[in-house]
Amino acid sequence: MPKLDLSQLPWRTGSGYPGKLAEPCAGRSVQPLGDPGGLTQYGVNMVRLEPGAASSLRHYHMEQDEFVMVTEGICTLIDDDGAHEMMPGDCAAFPAGEENGHHLVNRSDKPAGFLVVGTRTPTETGYYSDLDMMVKFAGGDFTFTRKDGSPLTAEQTGEDT
């Protein structure tokens, strides 16, 4: 039925970033809502950030619109213009192709959370503002490389390449 039973929908903790690049998101948990609700045109997730955790590495999307609304606690939006505190009910919009890297960080000492919406597209490219890294999405898989397409270095990931 359309109303979702949130108590029954699973959460996953952490991120898919390679090696030590995942550390900032170790305290991030995601609960998909759109997929279990049968939506295919955009994704909708609840995200919970433990104190100190980041929603992602600071990035922007080339093909997909993104929208967030804070639902719990205090999130700090970091973008090219600086840091912006966001309280429950506060919203932010990130149009596809706008090259203003962003993420939400929990700088408080209590859990924080937000709802995030992102368009589903067959392919996608994202760029990371504070790193020499990009992500390509195609065929259901994410591939992280340097911005020139070459492999990430062991120095970047802390892993043997």
- The answer to whether 137 contacts a second copy (rule: CB under 8 A) is no
Q: Which is nearer to a second copy, 35 or 159 (CB)?
A: 35
- The answer to whether 122 contacts a second copy (rule: CB under 8 A) is no
Phi, psi of 121 (to 5 degrees): -135, 155
Q: Please, what is the minimum distance in Å from the beta carbon of residue 73 to a second copy? A: 13
Q: What is the DSSP string of 51-96?
A: TT-BSSSSEEESS--EEEEEEES-EEEEETTEEEEE-TT-EEEE-T
Closest CA relative to residue 113, chosen from 37, 39, 27: 27
Q: Please, what is the minimum distance in Å from the beta carbon of residue 3 to a second copy? A: 5
Instruction: Evaluate whether 135 touches 144 at the Cβ level (below 8 Å).
Output: yes
Q: Please, what is the minimum distance in Å from the beta carbon of residue 8 to a second copy? A: 12
- The answer to whether 37 contacts a second copy (rule: CB under 8 A) is yes
Instruction: Evaluate whether 32 touches 19 at the Cβ level (below 8 Å).
Output: no
- The answer to whether 119 contacts a second copy (rule: CB under 8 A) is yes
**Which one of 18, 19, 22, 69 is in contact with a second copy (CB under 8 A)?**
69
Q: Which is nearer to a second copy, 37 or 151 (CB)?
A: 37
Q: Which is nearer to a second copy, 121 or 145 (CB)?
A: 121
**C-beta neighbour count of 75 within 10 angstroms:** 28
The DSSP element (H or E) to which 157 belongs, if any, is helix 154-157
* Binding region for a second copy (CB under 8 A): 1-4, 6, 33-34, 36-42, 44, 64-65, 67, 69, 71, 77, 79, 81, 84, 86, 89-96, 98, 100, 102, 115, 117, 119
